[in-house]
Structure 1
Amino acid sequence: MTSLEQAVAAFEPRLPVAVALSGGADSTALLLACTRRWPGELRALHVHHGLQAAADDFEAHCRALCGRLSVPLMVKRVDARHASGESPEDAARRSRYAALAGMAGEAGVQDIALGHHADDQVETLLLALSRGAGLAGLSAMPAQALRGGLRYHRPLLHLPGSEIRDWLQGQGEAWIEDPSNADSRYTRNRIRGVVLPALEQAFPQFRATFARSAAHAAQAQALLVELAEQDLAAIDVPPAIEALQRLSRPRQANVLRHWLLRTHGCTPSAAQLEELLEQIDACRTRGHRLHIKVGGGFVHRSGAVLDWYNDGPSLKPLR
């Protein structure tokens, strides 16, 4: 049994299970291996982003593949164009997950398998490092995650991309190459084409060691969330300013990030959080005014507590 087949053998989703099928090598291999393990229990979900001419070729490949494997296929066309100042990759990612969730509901599945592999994990970690991310970003992609009531799985996360392609070639199965993967304007592609080969030469085991570091970061992040929950329960919601001031500065930063994300779906930048901490420290008199832009809205003082608001429609709190 190959490493890929072992990975799928160890994968235990609730059935029926869906595979997010892009038409590329990774999701094609995942669908093929899962179909062999659970014949008749697979659904394929394809998101047509409409961002490039090759999108129709991806859909055609998915339809042909699923037809041969007798796997029901659902296709959702989305408008994944990004707004001004927004990352194209982030916009496409949000559209993709929204489309997958919608199709999963229609297909009656609760588990979705994604084809991300070890190279994707390294790229995610390096991108997080390049942006100065905290532990949440350095945790990279989890092997399993709950999102909107759906469970997402990445059973191939420990396998190099080359190994997946070698397995697929051994099965005599074709796939579609995304033309955008050769576009050096995208940071991920520059990492894939320049940085990963250099890492391979300097540190042959970098995939495993990077994954271990990401796992350590994820464990530490889980502890920070647990501490933030305890602190938030103590200072109340909305946060009481005097109770916040009794915490150490790192704990203030931790609980404020947690409060803003959990309650308002908002993440402060490092500069915004630093300014907020300075203002909280200075807020020692009843008349002290506090009003700071954070995310898409503002944190302000409301009597003895902090509050957050924006001028647009209210954000749905995260659960």
Structure 2
Amino acid sequence: MAPRSVPSLEQALADFSPGLPFAVAFSGGADSTALLLACTRRWPGQVRAVHIHHGLQDAADAFEAHCRALCQQLSVPLAVRRVQAGHAPGQSPEDAARKARYQALAEAVQTEWPEVHDIALAQHADDQVETLLIALSRGAGLPGLASMPAHWQRMGLQWHRPFLAVPGAALREWLLSLGQSWVEDPTNTDEQFTRNRIRAQVLPVLAEALPAFRETFARSAAHAAQAQEVLNEVAAQDLAHIGVPPRIEVLQRLGRARQALVLRHWLRQHHTTTPSAAQLNELLDQLAACTTRGHRIHLKVGSGFVQRQGQHLSWQAA
């Protein structure tokens, strides 16, 4: 099995061009172990590793010990950061943990190795399919259907996912062919989590019915991402014309769909918040009805409130 999987992994790395040196987010699991090992083989002496200790389960200390031992064996510098992310009302624990993890990764790299500006993450083709299916189940728009990007910028760093086209099974096959061990997170089999249910129940059925689903789903996600890029450009141009804060009269000259587009862009770019579909529809209804000086707008939108101030819309945190 291993010879079949190696080319896809090698091709993924051939298409990956990080700035050197760079860091790998290393949990100790199979996916990040494959990424760390493959990267150290391709760029010896240029790889750093960051392990995030969540403290959410009894096995966390053992994960850290495993990561320390492997990094010592590979002569890879390792930074460990401990996070305990509490979640806000309405926020899932998984989302809170994810945000805390990204923040800790960035902080570790910028503190330990100021010369490092790139971080590689080990999400693979199965993770991308799961993300797309979760987005579909929630009725997501294009940003959700675009799933996970292969490359983006955030917190002054370049983030990469070089394995998005590689099935998770191929990574494990490659590790087994090398006799390399990894740790298994027991929560990965807990089917109370949607992602785990998809992995255990849906992906095997898809593989049987649609053998090429990973590739075709990835193409659909890429098409959605391209379309969203175009919409982002349109929204930015509209917002430049409407102004910040947005002028109500100019907003009303746009069609409803374009109003929704530019309002989402304004809230995301200038206030780091995202409205629900219901909140945005109510705001659009209020805009349509805003034809007199006395019309009041004060709506819960995202994590705060959109309100009318004279001829403009403003947003305030809750």
TM-score by length of 2: 0.96
Alpha-carbon offset, residue 11 of structure 1? 1.4
**Equivalent of 2:296 in 281, 289, 294:** 289
Correspondence for 1:317? none
Correspondence for 1:115? 122
Correspondence for 1:29? 34
Are residues 1:44 and 2:45 paired?
Answer: no
Alpha-carbon offset, residue 84 of structure 1? 4.4
Take 2:90 and 2:227, find their aligned partners in 1: how far apart are those partners? 32
Q: Secondary structure at the match of 1:15?
A: coil
Correspondence for 1:65? 70
Cα shift readout 1:176-214 (whole Å, capped 9, x = no counterpart) = 011001111100000000000010011000000000000
**Equivalent of 2:224 in 217, 220, 223:** 217
What fraction of aligned residue pairs are identical, expressed as a percent?
Answer: 67
**Equivalent of 2:277 in 246, 266, 270:** 270
Would you identify which runs of 4 or more consecutive aligned residues in structure 1 move more than 6 Å?
A: none
Take 2:90 and 2:306, find their aligned partners in 1: how far apart are those partners? 23
Take 1:263 and 1:283, find their aligned partners in 2: how far apart are those partners? 23
Correspondence for 1:186? 193
Take 2:143 and 2:304, find their aligned partners in 1: how far apart are those partners? 22
Alpha-carbon offset, residue 57 of structure 1? 1.4
Q: Secondary structure at the match of 1:268?
A: coil
**Equivalent of 1:85 in 73, 84, 90:** 90
Correspondence for 2:247? 240
Is the contact made by 1:82 and 1:91 (CA closer than 8 Å) also made in structure 2?
yes
**Equivalent of 2:184 in 177, 184, 189:** 177
Alpha-carbon offset, residue 262 of structure 1? 0.7
Q: Which runs of 5+ in 1 are unaligned?
A: 312-319
Q: Secondary structure at the match of 2:300?
A: strand
Correspondence for 1:55? 60
Q: Secondary structure at the match of 1:2?
A: helix
Is the contact made by 1:9 and 1:37 (CA closer than 8 Å) also made in structure 2?
no
**Equivalent of 1:159 in 153, 156, 166:** 166
Q: Secondary structure at the match of 2:306?
A: strand
**Equivalent of 1:254 in 242, 257, 261:** 261
Take 1:81 and 1:65, find their aligned partners in 2: how far apart are those partners? 30
Alpha-carbon offset, residue 149 of structure 1? 1.1
**Equivalent of 1:203 in 196, 207, 210:** 210
Alpha-carbon offset, residue 152 of structure 1? 0.7
Q: Secondary structure at the match of 1:301?
A: strand
Q: Secondary structure at the match of 1:292?
A: strand
Q: Which moves more between the two structures, 220-229 or 5-14?
A: 5-14
Q: Secondary structure at the match of 1:28?
A: helix
- Read off the aligned partner of 2:143 and give its amino acid letter: A
Take 2:286 and 2:135, find their aligned partners in 1: how far apart are those partners? 28
Cα shift readout 1:31-75 (whole Å, capped 9, x = no counterpart) = 111101111111000000000011111111111110110001000
Are residues 1:95 and 2:100 paired?
Answer: yes
Number of equivalences = 311
**Equivalent of 1:142 in 149, 152, 169:** 149
Is the contact made by 1:46 and 1:59 (CA closer than 8 Å) also made in structure 2?
yes
